[in-house]
Amino acid sequence: MIDYVDPDTGMSIYGQETLDGMRERYPDAEVVSSWEAAQRLIEKEFVQPPKPIGRQEWNDMLCSKTPPVGRYGHGQTESFRLPDLVFGQTGVILARDGWRFYRLIDRIDLTHREILAKCRAMQ
């Protein structure tokens, strides 16, 4: 649920209820003060941990119609992301660690080292 409580009226724009009324119905709701903070909370819902994929899927994504973004390779490791974002600053990321290949959805500002650490934690 995303709503905005007008400070002048104390009523939400979409649900037309008070903040206390919203908290009764949604006791676990978090109150944030900016769109950026709300976006970070929403992005977390789209994050998916690394999943092993086959070499063929890796090659298909690497050679897809749209070129990879942020491609980085070092020794036996490599990572890149697809250009289309899933939501906010989350996107599909692919990683290779030796002969193991992974697909995850996470923040696109992750470094290659952070991506590999997440993939290695799945082994």
Query: How, if at all, do strands 90-97 and 77-87 pair?
Result: antiparallel
Q: Which of 47, 8, 4 lies closest to 22, judged by CA?
A: 4
Report phi then psi at 49, rounded to 5: -65, 165
For residue 92, the one-letter residue type is V
pLDDT given for residue 26 in this prediction? 83
φ, ψ dihedrals at 22, nearest 5°: -65, -40
Q: Report pTM.
A: 0.76
pLDDT tens for residues 53-104? 999 999 999 888 788 999 999 899 999 999 999 998 999 999 999 999 999 9
Q: Which residues contact 38 (CB under 8 A, 6 or more apart)?
A: 2, 32
